[in-house]
Structure 1
Amino acid sequence: RDDGPHDRMTACVSSQVGCSLTCKFCATGYMDRKRNLDAAEIYDQVVAIDRQAKENYDAPLTNIVYMGMG
């Protein structure tokens, strides 16, 4: 399928607040890890991003990428 610039619509979804690693190349590493997000919080991110993709680009999400803190 080729829809031009909107061939894929990818959402980077966070799974936690903060980070326990201290990677020098990432600003998130300077934040303490507070907690993992629960399933409802992760789901709500996907629903909100999908809605924004449809409203702004007339295209639904095609990919979801899970990040620590994305």
Structure 2
Amino acid sequence: MEFDPALSFSDNLARFQAAAEGIDADCARILFDNLGLLTRDGDATRTRQAVQEFNQAVLAALDSVPEAPAA
């Protein structure tokens, strides 16, 4: 999926979400359920903290996903 510069960020994000859900719905849900953690205004320290919180939340969610059987 290519981002369309003529569309808004929100529209491109919605298109990306739809494409991600088509590839792996569980991973897309984990990503978009936690994406709001990255939305922080402020200094670099708060931004770094937001990224750490996002990473921790995504890792915790991924750890709870059952492993697929080996092919």
After TM superposition, the score normalised by the length of structure 1 is 0.40
> Scaled by the length of structure 2, what TM-score is found?
0.39
- Determine which structure has the larger strand proportion and give its number: 1
